[in-house]
Amino acid sequence: MDTTRFKYCRVIYENISATTMEHTCWFLLFYARQIMSQLKEKIFANICSSFGLGYFPVASGTIGSAPAIFIFIIIVLVAPSYLHTALIAVVLLTCCGLCILLGPWAERYWKKKDPRQFVLDEYAGFFFTVLLFRVPSLTLTVIWGFIMTRIFDILKPPPASRLEVLSNGWGILLDDLVASLYAAFALHILAIYFPRLFGE
């Protein structure tokens, strides 16, 4: 009788242990997924907002895209001159790719179309401008390139303003690229008629 009772208690114990272990595993798996999801959102938010600069309450696009200047300066100062155009193009394409990939996520995360915290499109705009227009003076290229990019991004002349309605990150990106086309064109015109502004 005692042996039978012992076996019965053991079976119950093993079943309870197995059930508890299964529940524990499911709980740990669920908890790990929650942590990974939160971590992913934090990483994406940091990338999209230029590590928090996009949260700046005033001129978030200007402040948030300022690090693009330093990336451009590093390229010009460190890389050989014959690689400048290629490297700027690589950075530009990277920014464009991130805009398209993370744009839809950003709009869901910040619950707004083309949220101001998202500044990767401003990065792309600046690099597109300096891809199309550069002068021998690094300082003047940075100053004029950044200022004109920001001016035309704020003004958004047609068709830039109309492109914002596009979905899947394209609307976030293309309006800035069109604004940069205007900026580069304006800079070329200024360089022709007012070369002294560019140290020529």
Q: Give residue limits of the domains in the chain.
A: 1-48, 50-198
Cα 63 from Cα 146, distance rounded (Å): 11
The confidence score (pLDDT) of residue 168 equals 77
Question: Do residues 149 and 126 lie in contact, with contact meaning Cβ atoms separated by under 8 Å?
Answer: yes
User: In this model, does residue 143 exceed pLDDT 70?
Assistant: yes
Element housing 77 (H / E): helix 67-78
The pLDDT value recorded for residue 40 is: 84
Mean pLDDT over the full length of the chain: 86
- pLDDT confidence bin for 49, thresholds 50/70/90: very high
Which residues, 6+ apart, have CB-to-CB distance to 90 below 8 Å? Answer: none
Please, which pLDDT band fits residue 4 given cuts at 50, 70 and 90?
Answer: low
